[in-house]
Amino acid sequence: MGIIPTDNSQVRALKGLHLYHAAISNCSQKVRFCLDEKGLEWQSHTVNLQKSEHLTPEFLSINPRGVIPVLVHDGVVIVESSDIIAYIESRFPSPPLSPRAPEDCALLEAWMTLWDETQPHIKTVTHAGRIGGFRRAAGRLPIELAMARDNGLQNPELAEFLAELASAEGLSPDRVAAAREAVQDRLERLEVCLSAYEWLAGPSFSLADLAWSIDVHRFQFLEMSLDAYPSVRRWYQAIRSRPAFERMVVAYEQAALKAMTPAA
């Protein structure tokens, strides 16, 4: 989706890099990680998902789909995390996070496409676990459904997901089973690649490694074992030790969980 128009005059007036994000959102983690790896300065605009701020008229005036993160660069609005990090790479190419060889660029594109296809499954396994438990315990899901309807959310998939999550039955067993099967498939694909190569797309760390490490981190957060995937575990630990990962993923996540637990 990439760059979208906005009628929000305050957003159009913003100068520099501004990120609308949430601490524990894996897509937000991905973009923060990228910005830090690039050494870029950016202004933080936290979107409180526990207060459903992503469904307010104010936020929907920035992104009518009601999802985060959103990057604003000198008044230009960019949405969808993969498009955002591709935009950052194109506008701020140093240090490079894309390979040079055409065959490695093709690998990068393939891994990023698969990442995007996997995100609905990541959302499902996340909400089938403790995050879903937090949200249901908070009692805001019916309010979010009403906000989505009344404030003009332009995202049928999100509205459907919220309705299913808020139902008495919760997420359907079929949806959860399909999501877990997809996660296992992705881990197996990562293991095959990383058993032969150090990185996913070429001779060095790239946007593909950045993006997929966020998902593997989410699997760890959900207490999924990596014992069957030693190459994935080795690769993840190498990325986990990067200072940018600690600052932009782990520190934000730990602060968010500390704030969420008493409320739940």
Q: Which of the listed CATH numbers 1.20.120.330, 3.30.70.1880, 1.20.1050.10, 1.20.20.10 matches domain 102-263? A: 1.20.1050.10
Model confidence at 185: pLDDT above 80: yes
For residue 53, which phi and psi values (nearest 5 degrees)? -65, -20
- Rounded CA gap, 47 and 170, in Å? 25
Mean pLDDT, the chain, rounded, equals: 94
Residue 4 sits at φ, ψ, to 5 deg, of -130, 155
Q: How confident is the model at residue 264 (pLDDT cuts 50, 70, 90)?
A: very low
Name the band, by pLDDT with cuts 50, 70 and 90, for residue 35.
very high
pLDDT tens track for 61-105: 999 999 999 999 999 999 999 999 999 999 999 999 999 999 999
2-91 and 102-263 have identical folds: no
Domain ranges of the chain: 2-91, 102-263
Q: Which CATH class is domain 2-91?
A: alpha beta
Weakest mean pLDDT among 12-16, 139-143, 173-177: 139-143
d(CA 20, CA 72): 8
* DSSP, res 75: T
DSSP for 96-156 reads --S-SSHHHHHHHHHHHHHHHHHHHHHHHHHHTTHHHHHHHHHT-HHHHHHHHHHTT---H
